[in-house]
Amino acid sequence: MPTPTIELRHVTKRFLTPSGTAYTALRDLDLAVQEGEFCAVVGPTGCGKSTTLALISGLEPPSDGEVRVRDEVVRGVGRDVGYVFQVDAVFPWKSVLDNVATGPRFRGVDRRDAEDRARDWIKRVGLAGFERYYPHQLSGGMRKRAALAQTLINEPRILLMDEPFSALDVQTRTLMENELLQLWSATRASVVFVTHDLEEAIALADRVVVITAGPGTVKGTYRVDLPRPRNVAEIRFQPEFSRIYREIWDDLRDEVLVSYERSKRSVS
C-alpha cells in the first residue's frame, strides 16, 4: 500500500477550557487518506470533527501523536491545503473578484494574472456577472460558491471541508454537492469532508469514517463502492446506497445517542 497523503497517528488533542480544565477533543485517533481519495468523516455534534481538520491544515498542533501530510510532519499551515469553512469565511470588504483572487495574490502572483485566474474560477462556480458584488449582496449559496472558488483557485492537493453546505437549504445543497463532485473530478485532490449528515457523506465519498462521541476516535471505516460520476440527487435511490446507509447507521446511532444523552444532562 502506498504512503497515504494524509496520515494521523495516535493523535490526541486537548484544549484548555475557559474554566482552566483540560478538555479532550480527540483521543488516539488514527486516520489515513490516500492520494485522490474523497473521505467523509461523520460523527455526532461535538465529537472533534472540525478539530481533525484544524490539525491536518496545521492551524492547530496536536497535543500528542503525529500528523503527516505527504509524508512530512505538519508544522504550520502548508501550501497544498485548501479549507472550506462551515461559516462564511469570505472577506466582507472584498468584492467577489478580489476575494477569489486573494489566494494567488498572497502567494505572490501579480494582480492581472491573479484576476484573470479569479475570473475563470468565478465562471466555473457559476458566479459570472457577480465579480463586482460584495458578499453581503449575495445569497448564502452564492457566498459558498465564492468561498469554493477562493479555495480551489490555489489548486490544493488536499481539500478540507468543514460541513460546508450545512447552512444551505436542501435544494441549493444538492446542487452544490453535485458541483463539488464535478470540480473535484477535474482536480482529484485528496478530500476530507466533515459532516453530520450521513446521506451527504455516502453520496459524496469513497470512504466514510465514523467518529465516536467526544473525545473522538475512529469507530469504523466503510468503503462506498458506488460508481462515479454520481448524481447526488438520485444516488440515494440505489439499493446499494440504502445498504451502506443501514450498515453505517448501526454504528453511528449509538454515538448519536451517547452525545444526545450528554447534551440532555448538561442542559438539565
| Residue 43 DSSP code | -
Q: How many residues bind another protein (CB under 8 A)?
A: 27
Tell me the pairing of strands 38-42 and 207-211.
Answer: parallel
| DSSP line for 86-109 | SS--S-TTS-HHHHHHHHHHHTT-
**Where would I find the beta strands (DSSP E) of the chain?**
6-16, 22-33, 38-42, 64-69, 72-73, 81-84, 158-162, 190-195, 207-211, 218-223
- Residues 117-156 binding another protein (CB under 8 A) are 134-136, 150-151, 154
Which C-beta is closer to another protein: that of 39 or that of 146? 146
Residue 167 binds another protein, judged by CB under 8 A? no
Amino acid at 189: A
Q: Which stretch binds another protein (CB under 8 A): 100-108, 177-185, 187-195, 256-264?
A: 100-108
Pick the binder of another protein from 15, 85, 130, 249 (CB under 8 A).
85
Q: Which three cell numbers stand for residue 14?
A: 486537548
Span of 38-46, 74-82, 115-123, 164-172 interacting with another protein by CB under 8 A = 74-82
SS (H, E, C) 146-176: HHHHHHHCCCCCEEEEECCCCCCCHHHHHHH
Is position 5 an interface residue for another protein (rule: CB under 8 A)?
no
Are 56 and 8 a contacting pair, CB within 8 Å?
A: yes
Q: Is 82 in the site for another protein (CB under 8 A)?
A: yes
Residue from 2, 18, 93, 186 touching another protein (CB under 8 A): that is: 93
Q: Which is nearer to another protein, 108 or 239 (CB)?
A: 108
Residues that bind another protein (CB under 8 A): 57, 59, 77, 79, 81-83, 85, 87-95, 102-103, 106-107, 134-136, 150-151, 154
